[in-house]
Homo-oligomer: A and B are copies of this chain.
Amino acid sequence: MSSNPVKIGIVGLGRWAKVLTRAAKKSDKFKIVCGYSRSEEKRLAYEQEFGISCAETMEALLGDPDIKGVILTVPNEHHLPVAEQVAKAGKHIYTEKPIANTLENGLSIEALQSRYDVQVMVGHSARLLKGTRMIKDAINSGELGRVAMIEANFSNERGLELTPETWRWYKDKAPGGPLSQLATHQFDALHFLGGEIDEVSSIASKLSPVGAEVDDQSLTFLKFSSGALGYVGSSWTSPGIYSIRVFGQKGLMHYELDFSTWDTPDQLHETSELYIQRGKDGFSKREVLTIPPGDMFRDELEMFAEVCATGEPGELSANNGNVALAVVYAALRSIDNNGACVKMQDIFDEAKAKISDQQG
Protein backbone atom coordinates (compact mmCIF):
# COMPACT_ATOMS: atom_id res chain seq x y z
CA MET A 1 0.00 0.00 0.00
CA SER A 2 1.31 3.43 -0.90
CA SER A 3 2.15 5.81 1.94
CA ASN A 4 -0.82 8.05 1.36
CA PRO A 5 -3.87 6.29 -0.09
CA VAL A 6 -6.96 8.48 -0.60
CA LYS A 7 -9.60 7.78 2.05
CA ILE A 8 -13.08 7.07 0.77
CA GLY A 9 -16.48 6.30 2.27
CA ILE A 10 -19.24 4.14 0.82
CA VAL A 11 -23.01 4.55 1.22
CA GLY A 12 -25.44 1.74 0.45
CA LEU A 13 -24.02 -1.64 1.40
CA GLY A 14 -25.80 -4.10 -0.91
CA ARG A 15 -24.47 -6.57 -3.47
CA TRP A 16 -22.84 -3.95 -5.66
CA ALA A 17 -21.02 -2.28 -2.76
CA LYS A 18 -19.40 -5.64 -2.08
CA VAL A 19 -18.26 -6.03 -5.70
CA LEU A 20 -16.67 -2.57 -5.55
CA THR A 21 -15.12 -3.12 -2.13
CA ARG A 22 -13.51 -6.34 -3.34
CA ALA A 23 -12.07 -4.41 -6.30
CA ALA A 24 -10.92 -1.65 -3.94
CA LYS A 25 -8.93 -4.13 -1.84
CA LYS A 26 -6.66 -4.69 -4.87
CA SER A 27 -5.60 -1.05 -5.09
CA ASP A 28 -3.03 0.83 -3.06
CA LYS A 29 -4.12 4.21 -4.41
CA PHE A 30 -7.13 4.53 -2.14
CA LYS A 31 -8.77 2.90 0.82
CA ILE A 32 -12.42 2.54 1.76
CA VAL A 33 -12.36 3.54 5.41
CA CYS A 34 -16.02 3.81 6.36
CA GLY A 35 -19.40 2.43 5.24
CA TYR A 36 -22.97 3.49 5.89
CA SER A 37 -26.39 1.93 5.33
CA ARG A 38 -29.70 2.66 7.06
CA SER A 39 -29.89 -1.09 7.71
CA GLU A 40 -28.00 -2.19 10.83
CA GLU A 41 -27.98 -5.73 9.49
CA LYS A 42 -26.16 -4.64 6.33
CA ARG A 43 -23.68 -2.56 8.33
CA LEU A 44 -22.80 -5.54 10.50
CA ALA A 45 -22.50 -7.89 7.53
CA TYR A 46 -20.25 -5.39 5.73
CA GLU A 47 -18.02 -4.87 8.76
CA GLN A 48 -17.72 -8.60 9.23
CA GLU A 49 -16.87 -9.34 5.57
CA PHE A 50 -14.40 -6.53 4.95
CA GLY A 51 -13.18 -5.40 8.37
CA ILE A 52 -14.20 -1.84 7.51
CA SER A 53 -16.03 0.04 10.25
CA CYS A 54 -19.44 1.53 9.55
CA ALA A 55 -20.93 4.80 10.74
CA GLU A 56 -24.34 4.75 12.42
CA THR A 57 -25.44 7.91 10.61
CA MET A 58 -24.67 9.62 7.30
CA GLU A 59 -23.68 12.69 9.31
CA ALA A 60 -21.01 10.74 11.18
CA LEU A 61 -19.50 9.48 7.92
CA LEU A 62 -19.63 12.92 6.32
CA GLY A 63 -18.18 14.49 9.45
CA ASP A 64 -14.87 12.67 9.04
CA PRO A 65 -12.51 15.28 7.53
CA ASP A 66 -10.11 12.57 6.27
CA ILE A 67 -12.73 11.17 3.89
CA LYS A 68 -12.26 12.96 0.55
CA GLY A 69 -14.93 11.20 -1.48
CA VAL A 70 -17.99 8.99 -1.14
CA ILE A 71 -19.15 6.08 -3.28
CA LEU A 72 -22.96 5.83 -3.65
CA THR A 73 -24.55 2.47 -4.40
CA VAL A 74 -28.01 3.52 -3.27
CA PRO A 75 -31.17 3.07 -5.41
CA ASN A 76 -31.38 5.38 -8.45
CA GLU A 77 -34.11 7.60 -7.01
CA HIS A 78 -31.92 8.33 -3.97
CA HIS A 79 -28.89 9.44 -6.01
CA LEU A 80 -29.80 13.15 -6.01
CA PRO A 81 -30.72 13.65 -2.32
CA VAL A 82 -27.76 11.60 -1.08
CA ALA A 83 -25.35 13.23 -3.56
CA GLU A 84 -26.55 16.65 -2.39
CA GLN A 85 -25.81 15.74 1.23
CA VAL A 86 -22.33 14.54 0.28
CA ALA A 87 -21.62 17.62 -1.85
CA LYS A 88 -22.69 19.94 0.95
CA ALA A 89 -20.07 18.24 3.14
CA GLY A 90 -17.49 19.19 0.47
CA LYS A 91 -16.70 15.65 -0.59
CA HIS A 92 -16.41 14.28 -4.12
CA ILE A 93 -19.05 11.84 -5.34
CA TYR A 94 -18.91 8.54 -7.16
CA THR A 95 -22.39 7.32 -8.06
CA GLU A 96 -23.42 4.13 -9.79
CA LYS A 97 -24.95 4.25 -13.28
CA PRO A 98 -27.41 5.56 -14.28
CA ILE A 99 -26.50 8.95 -12.86
CA ALA A 100 -30.09 9.34 -11.62
CA ASN A 101 -33.67 8.13 -12.06
CA THR A 102 -34.54 11.09 -14.31
CA LEU A 103 -32.54 13.40 -16.55
CA GLU A 104 -33.70 16.38 -14.45
CA ASN A 105 -32.16 14.78 -11.37
CA GLY A 106 -29.07 13.82 -13.37
CA LEU A 107 -28.58 17.43 -14.44
CA SER A 108 -29.17 18.56 -10.85
CA ILE A 109 -26.44 16.18 -9.70
CA GLU A 110 -24.12 17.55 -12.40
CA ALA A 111 -24.89 21.08 -11.15
CA LEU A 112 -23.69 20.14 -7.65
CA GLN A 113 -20.15 20.30 -9.02
CA SER A 114 -19.97 24.06 -9.52
CA ARG A 115 -22.32 24.79 -6.61
CA TYR A 116 -20.23 22.99 -4.00
CA ASP A 117 -16.84 22.86 -5.77
CA VAL A 118 -16.80 19.06 -5.86
CA GLN A 119 -16.52 16.52 -8.70
CA VAL A 120 -19.14 13.94 -9.59
CA MET A 121 -18.14 10.69 -11.28
CA VAL A 122 -20.53 8.07 -12.68
CA GLY A 123 -19.64 4.38 -12.73
CA HIS A 124 -19.99 3.68 -16.44
CA SER A 125 -17.33 1.01 -16.09
CA ALA A 126 -18.08 -0.70 -19.42
CA ARG A 127 -16.09 1.89 -21.32
CA LEU A 128 -13.07 0.77 -19.30
CA LEU A 129 -13.23 -2.79 -20.64
CA LYS A 130 -9.82 -3.59 -22.12
CA GLY A 131 -11.27 -4.55 -25.51
CA THR A 132 -13.18 -1.27 -25.72
CA ARG A 133 -10.01 0.65 -24.81
CA MET A 134 -8.06 -1.24 -27.52
CA ILE A 135 -10.72 -0.30 -30.11
CA LYS A 136 -10.54 3.33 -29.00
CA ASP A 137 -6.74 3.26 -29.28
CA ALA A 138 -7.05 1.88 -32.83
CA ILE A 139 -9.49 4.66 -33.71
CA ASN A 140 -7.25 7.32 -32.20
CA SER A 141 -4.11 6.03 -33.92
CA GLY A 142 -5.89 6.06 -37.30
CA GLU A 143 -5.53 2.28 -37.69
CA LEU A 144 -9.25 1.88 -38.50
CA GLY A 145 -9.49 4.98 -40.71
CA ARG A 146 -12.62 7.07 -40.62
CA VAL A 147 -15.26 5.40 -38.45
CA ALA A 148 -18.45 4.76 -40.43
CA MET A 149 -20.66 2.58 -38.26
CA ILE A 150 -20.68 1.14 -34.75
CA GLU A 151 -22.89 -1.80 -33.84
CA ALA A 152 -23.37 -2.98 -30.28
CA ASN A 153 -25.56 -5.42 -28.45
CA PHE A 154 -26.17 -6.12 -24.78
CA SER A 155 -28.76 -8.83 -24.13
CA ASN A 156 -29.74 -11.34 -21.49
CA GLU A 157 -32.68 -13.44 -20.30
CA ARG A 158 -33.83 -11.16 -17.48
CA GLY A 159 -37.17 -10.37 -19.12
CA LEU A 160 -38.21 -14.01 -18.88
CA GLU A 161 -37.84 -13.97 -15.09
CA LEU A 162 -39.59 -10.73 -14.09
CA THR A 163 -42.30 -10.85 -11.44
CA PRO A 164 -44.54 -8.06 -10.11
CA GLU A 165 -42.35 -8.15 -6.96
CA THR A 166 -39.27 -6.98 -8.92
CA TRP A 167 -38.86 -3.28 -9.67
CA ARG A 168 -37.79 -4.01 -13.25
CA TRP A 169 -41.39 -5.10 -13.94
CA TYR A 170 -42.57 -1.46 -13.91
CA LYS A 171 -42.33 1.25 -16.59
CA ASP A 172 -41.63 4.07 -14.14
CA LYS A 173 -38.75 2.16 -12.51
CA ALA A 174 -37.14 0.56 -15.59
CA PRO A 175 -38.35 2.63 -18.56
CA GLY A 176 -38.01 0.74 -21.83
CA GLY A 177 -36.90 -2.41 -19.98
CA PRO A 178 -33.53 -3.43 -21.46
CA LEU A 179 -33.25 0.07 -22.97
CA SER A 180 -32.57 1.65 -19.56
CA GLN A 181 -31.10 -1.47 -17.95
CA LEU A 182 -28.67 -2.79 -20.59
CA ALA A 183 -28.54 -0.64 -23.74
CA THR A 184 -27.61 2.43 -21.68
CA HIS A 185 -24.18 0.88 -20.99
CA GLN A 186 -23.61 0.62 -24.72
CA PHE A 187 -24.81 4.18 -25.24
CA ASP A 188 -21.95 5.33 -23.04
CA ALA A 189 -19.50 2.99 -24.82
CA LEU A 190 -20.63 4.29 -28.24
CA HIS A 191 -20.43 7.88 -26.99
CA PHE A 192 -16.85 7.09 -25.96
CA LEU A 193 -15.97 5.41 -29.27
CA GLY A 194 -18.00 7.51 -31.72
CA GLY A 195 -18.03 10.96 -30.12
CA GLU A 196 -20.89 13.38 -29.74
CA ILE A 197 -24.40 12.05 -30.38
CA ASP A 198 -26.84 14.36 -32.22
CA GLU A 199 -29.97 12.26 -32.76
CA VAL A 200 -31.59 9.03 -31.63
CA SER A 201 -34.31 6.81 -33.05
CA SER A 202 -35.68 3.66 -31.49
CA ILE A 203 -38.22 0.85 -31.70
CA ALA A 204 -39.37 -1.60 -29.04
CA SER A 205 -41.47 -4.70 -28.57
CA LYS A 206 -42.85 -6.84 -25.76
CA LEU A 207 -42.58 -10.60 -26.23
CA SER A 208 -41.94 -12.20 -22.85
CA PRO A 209 -44.84 -14.35 -21.66
CA VAL A 210 -44.54 -13.02 -18.07
CA GLY A 211 -46.80 -10.00 -18.68
CA ALA A 212 -44.59 -7.24 -17.26
CA GLU A 213 -45.36 -3.57 -17.89
CA VAL A 214 -42.05 -2.91 -19.59
CA ASP A 215 -41.00 -3.66 -23.15
CA ASP A 216 -38.40 -6.40 -23.44
CA GLN A 217 -36.83 -5.75 -26.86
CA SER A 218 -35.06 -2.51 -27.67
CA LEU A 219 -33.31 -1.41 -30.87
CA THR A 220 -31.83 2.08 -31.11
CA PHE A 221 -30.04 4.10 -33.78
CA LEU A 222 -27.57 6.88 -32.99
CA LYS A 223 -26.46 9.64 -35.35
CA PHE A 224 -23.06 10.96 -34.39
CA SER A 225 -21.96 14.54 -35.07
CA SER A 226 -19.16 13.05 -37.19
CA GLY A 227 -21.69 11.59 -39.64
CA ALA A 228 -21.04 8.05 -38.42
CA LEU A 229 -24.07 5.94 -37.46
CA GLY A 230 -24.59 3.68 -34.48
CA TYR A 231 -26.87 0.80 -33.54
CA VAL A 232 -27.52 -0.69 -30.11
CA GLY A 233 -29.67 -3.82 -29.81
CA SER A 234 -30.89 -5.23 -26.53
CA SER A 235 -33.07 -8.28 -26.06
CA TRP A 236 -34.26 -9.26 -22.59
CA THR A 237 -35.39 -12.71 -23.73
CA SER A 238 -32.24 -14.36 -25.10
CA PRO A 239 -28.91 -15.87 -24.08
CA GLY A 240 -26.34 -13.31 -22.94
CA ILE A 241 -24.57 -11.14 -25.50
CA TYR A 242 -22.16 -8.24 -25.08
CA SER A 243 -20.59 -7.19 -28.37
CA ILE A 244 -19.22 -4.11 -30.08
CA ARG A 245 -18.21 -3.89 -33.74
CA VAL A 246 -16.64 -0.76 -35.21
CA PHE A 247 -16.56 -0.33 -39.01
CA GLY A 248 -13.82 1.97 -40.31
CA GLN A 249 -12.56 2.77 -43.79
CA LYS A 250 -9.25 1.02 -43.16
CA GLY A 251 -10.28 -1.65 -40.70
CA LEU A 252 -12.99 -3.21 -38.59
CA MET A 253 -12.78 -4.41 -35.01
CA HIS A 254 -15.12 -6.80 -33.23
CA TYR A 255 -15.22 -7.32 -29.48
CA GLU A 256 -17.31 -9.94 -27.75
CA LEU A 257 -17.30 -11.01 -24.14
CA ASP A 258 -19.08 -13.36 -21.80
CA PHE A 259 -21.07 -11.23 -19.43
CA SER A 260 -21.45 -14.05 -16.93
CA THR A 261 -18.01 -13.11 -15.56
CA TRP A 262 -18.91 -9.39 -15.25
CA ASP A 263 -18.62 -9.39 -11.45
CA THR A 264 -15.09 -10.84 -11.63
CA PRO A 265 -13.62 -8.48 -14.24
CA ASP A 266 -10.07 -9.79 -13.85
CA GLN A 267 -11.31 -12.97 -15.58
CA LEU A 268 -13.21 -11.25 -18.41
CA HIS A 269 -10.33 -11.41 -20.89
CA GLU A 270 -10.27 -15.21 -20.65
CA THR A 271 -13.70 -15.52 -22.26
CA SER A 272 -13.50 -12.48 -24.53
CA GLU A 273 -12.62 -12.19 -28.20
CA LEU A 274 -11.27 -9.22 -30.09
CA TYR A 275 -10.35 -9.28 -33.76
CA ILE A 276 -9.46 -6.89 -36.51
CA GLN A 277 -10.11 -7.13 -40.25
CA ARG A 278 -7.89 -4.82 -42.25
CA GLY A 279 -8.36 -3.24 -45.68
CA LYS A 280 -10.30 -5.58 -47.94
CA ASP A 281 -9.73 -8.62 -45.74
CA GLY A 282 -12.79 -10.73 -45.15
CA PHE A 283 -13.87 -12.69 -42.08
CA SER A 284 -11.48 -15.55 -42.79
CA LYS A 285 -8.48 -13.20 -42.70
CA ARG A 286 -9.37 -11.61 -39.36
CA GLU A 287 -6.52 -11.25 -36.91
CA VAL A 288 -7.36 -12.22 -33.34
CA LEU A 289 -5.81 -9.79 -30.85
CA THR A 290 -4.67 -10.65 -27.34
CA ILE A 291 -6.66 -8.87 -24.66
CA PRO A 292 -4.63 -8.23 -21.51
CA PRO A 293 -6.24 -8.87 -18.14
CA GLY A 294 -8.00 -5.89 -16.62
CA ASP A 295 -10.24 -4.87 -13.78
CA MET A 296 -12.70 -2.18 -14.78
CA PHE A 297 -14.00 -1.77 -11.22
CA ARG A 298 -10.56 -1.25 -9.70
CA ASP A 299 -9.73 1.06 -12.63
CA GLU A 300 -12.82 3.22 -12.18
CA LEU A 301 -12.27 3.47 -8.42
CA GLU A 302 -8.65 4.46 -8.99
CA MET A 303 -9.96 7.14 -11.36
CA PHE A 304 -12.20 8.31 -8.51
CA ALA A 305 -9.23 8.32 -6.12
CA GLU A 306 -7.41 10.53 -8.64
CA VAL A 307 -10.44 12.85 -8.80
CA CYS A 308 -10.46 13.04 -5.00
CA ALA A 309 -6.73 13.69 -4.84
CA THR A 310 -6.65 16.40 -7.49
CA GLY A 311 -10.18 17.83 -7.55
CA GLU A 312 -9.98 17.61 -11.35
CA PRO A 313 -12.86 16.04 -13.35
CA GLY A 314 -12.42 12.44 -14.52
CA GLU A 315 -13.33 10.72 -17.78
CA LEU A 316 -16.42 9.05 -16.29
CA SER A 317 -17.95 12.47 -15.78
CA ALA A 318 -21.42 13.51 -14.71
CA ASN A 319 -21.86 14.99 -18.17
CA ASN A 320 -21.09 11.65 -19.84
CA GLY A 321 -23.53 9.99 -17.44
CA ASN A 322 -26.22 12.45 -18.44
CA VAL A 323 -25.56 11.86 -22.15
CA ALA A 324 -26.15 8.11 -21.66
CA LEU A 325 -29.35 8.87 -19.75
CA ALA A 326 -30.49 11.43 -22.34
CA VAL A 327 -30.14 8.78 -25.07
CA VAL A 328 -32.57 6.61 -23.08
CA TYR A 329 -35.11 9.44 -22.92
CA ALA A 330 -34.59 10.35 -26.57
CA ALA A 331 -35.20 6.68 -27.45
CA LEU A 332 -38.38 6.58 -25.34
CA ARG A 333 -39.61 9.74 -27.12
CA SER A 334 -38.79 8.20 -30.50
CA ILE A 335 -40.67 5.00 -29.62
CA ASP A 336 -43.71 7.16 -28.80
CA ASN A 337 -43.20 9.05 -32.09
CA ASN A 338 -43.30 6.03 -34.41
CA GLY A 339 -39.51 5.72 -34.54
CA ALA A 340 -38.77 9.25 -35.78
CA CYS A 341 -35.34 10.67 -34.91
CA VAL A 342 -35.22 12.82 -31.77
CA LYS A 343 -32.58 15.50 -31.25
CA MET A 344 -30.50 15.09 -28.09
CA GLN A 345 -30.45 18.88 -27.70
CA ASP A 346 -34.26 18.93 -27.43
CA ILE A 347 -34.18 16.34 -24.65
CA PHE A 348 -31.58 18.34 -22.71
CA ASP A 349 -33.42 21.63 -23.28
CA GLU A 350 -36.70 20.18 -22.02
CA ALA A 351 -35.08 18.73 -18.91
CA LYS A 352 -33.45 22.08 -18.16
CA ALA A 353 -36.78 23.86 -18.67
CA LYS A 354 -38.44 21.45 -16.21
CA ILE A 355 -35.77 22.17 -13.62
CA SER A 356 -36.30 25.93 -14.09
CA ASP A 357 -40.07 25.49 -13.69
CA GLN A 358 -39.58 23.54 -10.46
CA GLN A 359 -37.20 26.15 -9.11
CA GLY A 360 -39.41 29.03 -10.26
Q: Which of A16-24, A49-57, A152-160, A183-191 contacts B (4 or more CB under 8 A)?
A: A152-160
Contacts of A341 in B (CB 8 A): 203, 338-339
Interface residue ranges of A272-306 to B (CB < 8 Å): 272-273, 277-285
Give per-residue flags for A203-241: 1 if the beta carbon is below 8 A from chain B beta carbons, else 0: 111111000000011010101000111010101011111
Q: Which of A228, A238, A272 has the largest count of B CB atoms less than 10 A from its CB? A: A238
A151 on interface, CB distance cutoff 8 Å = yes
A259 on interface, CB distance cutoff 8 Å = yes
- The 6 lowest CB-CB distance pairs between A and B, nearest first, are A271-B284, A258-B282, A238-B247, A239-B277, A340-B340, A258-B284
Contacts of A219 in B (CB 8 A): 149, 221, 229, 231
CA distance A206 to B249 in the complex (A): 13
Q: Which of B201, B203, B239 contacts A279 (CB 8 A)?
A: B239
A111 on interface, CB distance cutoff 8 Å = no
Q: Which of A280, A334, A337 has the largest count of B CB atoms less than 10 A from its CB? A: A280
A228–B201 touching, CB < 8 Å: no
Assembly stoichiometry (copies): 2
A109 to chain B, nearest CB (A): 31
B229–A231 touching, CB < 8 Å: no
Q: Which of B223, B258, B259, B273 contacts A205 (CB 8 A)?
A: B223
A: interface residue count bin = 35 or more
Contacts of A285 in B (CB 8 A): 258
A106 on interface, CB distance cutoff 8 Å = no
Give per-residue flags for A8-51: 1 if the beta carbon is below 8 A from chain B beta carbons, else 0: 00000000000000000000000000000000000000000000
B238–A252 touching, CB < 8 Å: yes
A355 on interface, CB distance cutoff 8 Å = no
Beyond the given pairs A203-B341, A219-B221, A339-B339, 17 more chain A to chain B contacts, judged by CB atoms under 8 angstroms and listed by A's residue number, are: A148-B237, A148-B238, A149-B217, A157-B249, A217-B229, A219-B231, A235-B247, A238-B249, A238-B252, A239-B279, A239-B281, A240-B280, A240-B282, A257-B283, A259-B282, A260-B280, A270-B284
